[in-house]
Amino acid sequence: MSSAAIVARSKLNGLEYLVRNGGRLDWAGAEHDADIFRDTREATRAALALPGKFRAFALPVTIDAPNAR
């Protein structure tokens, strides 16, 4: 098991999770659909690179290492 992170943003009805499709950004309603980053530092860097209107943040998760980027 490896400590990893995802990027999320708050919405009125819960959280949405960052999904990168090629060069396009999208948001998923389910955590298991989110892009997984190797650590919180990389996820934070990705969240800060988004436009400020998204107010995204890194969220630590525990996953099996093979799926981490």
* Whole-prediction pTM: 0.80
Boundaries of every domain in the chain: 2-62
Tell me, what DSSP letter sits at residue 65? G
For the chain, give the DSSP string. Answer: -EEEEEEEEEETTEEEEEEEETTEEEEESSGGGS--BSSHHHHHHHHHHS-GGG-EEEEEEEE-GGG--
- Calculate ∠ Cα 57-60-65, nearest 5°: 130
Beta bridge partners of 2: 63
Kindly give the confidence (pLDDT) of every residue in the chain, 69 residues in length, as a single tens digit, with 9 standing for 90 and above.
Answer: 457 999 999 988 899 999 988 888 899 999 999 999 999 999 999 999 999 888 999 999 876 555 455
